[in-house]
Amino acid sequence: MAIKWNSIGTDHVTRAFELLAKDSVNHNRGGRSLFVTHQGLSLPAKDVMRLAYLLANRLPPDTKVKFSSGEGIMARLTSLGFAVERRGVARTTTKSRNAPTAEPDGF
C-alpha cells in the first residue's frame, strides 16, 4: 500500500502522540533513531506516524503500515510544524565485492 502522506494532518499527529504518550508499552515497535517532540515529550517518529496514518485514513488498529525510510516521515512532520531529530544513528560502510584489498607497500 502506497503511503498517502498528505492525508496526515496536524490533528492526526497530535492525537496519535497523545494516545502513544499514555501507553508506554506500545510505542516501542518502530525505529529508534528518528524522534518527534511535542509538548516536551519525545517519541519514536515511526510509531507516531503509523498511528497518525491509521487515524487519518480511518483504518483498523491492526492494519500493517510499513515505512521504507524515515525521510518521508521527517518531511511530513516538519511540514506540519513538528520538531524532528535523529539520535544515535550509527552508519556503517561495507566494501564492494569488487573493491581492491591490497595493502600499502611495506606492510
Instruction: Look up the domain containing 57 and give its range.
Output: 5-86
pTM above 0.85, yes or no: no
Joined grid coordinates for residue 32: 529508534
Joined grid coordinates for residue 11: 490533528
Cβ–Cβ under 8 Å, residues 57 and 7: yes
Residue 91 lies in a domain: no
Residue 101 lies in a domain: no
Residue 107 lies in a domain: no
In angstroms, the CA 89 to CA 36 distance is 15
Cβ–Cβ under 8 Å, residues 88 and 33: yes
Residue 105 lies in a domain: no
Q: How many domains does the chain contain in total?
A: 1
In angstroms, the CA 47 to CA 28 distance is 7
The tens digit of pLDDT for each residue in 1-56 reads: 577 888 999 999 999 999 999 876 554 455 578 999 999 999 999 999 999 999 99
Residue 55 lies in a domain: yes
Question: What's the one-letter identity of residue 8?
Answer: I
Residue 40 lies in a domain: yes
Residue 65 lies in a domain: yes
Residue 106 lies in a domain: no
